[in-house]
């Protein structure tokens, strides 16, 4: 694996852990796709630093389990805001 990919995977994991970030937030921060973030964390980082990968994966799993709640809140907010416009 190329060194810059390993470095990116480590930086993404640290960002996710430090900021409790979602895949989407990390992708936006690093200018890569959500698929790249996911692959960096689940596959590439496991080969480089398994403990860091597990820590980041735990946060991503929590975010994934809560995404339907955040989506519902965002939709609710959208329609509440549009009603008064």
Nearest-angstrom CA–CA distance, 18 and 47: 21
With H, G, I as helix, E, B as strand and everything else as coil, classify residue 31: coil
Q: How many domains does the chain have?
A: 1
Average pLDDT score over residue span 66-83: 76
Nearest-angstrom CA–CA distance, 2 and 16: 22
The pLDDT confidence band at residue 84, using thresholds 50, 70 and 90, is low
The pLDDT mean for the chain works out to 89
Nearest-angstrom CA–CA distance, 52 and 66: 22
Domain that includes residue 76, residue range: 3-83
Average pLDDT score over residue span 35-52: 94
Select the more confidently predicted residue: 71 or 44.
44
């Amino acid at each position: 694996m190329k060194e810059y990919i390993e470095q990116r995977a480590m930086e993404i994991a640290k960002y996710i852990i430090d900021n409790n970030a979602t895949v989407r937030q990390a992708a936006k921060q690093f200018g890569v796709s959500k698929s790249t973030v996911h692959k960096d964390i689940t596959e590439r980082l496991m080969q480089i630093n398994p403990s860091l990968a597990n820590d980041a994966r735990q946060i991503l799993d929590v975010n994934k389990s809560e995404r339907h709640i955040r989506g519902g809140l965002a939709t609710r907010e959208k329609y509440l805001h549009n009603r008064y416009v």
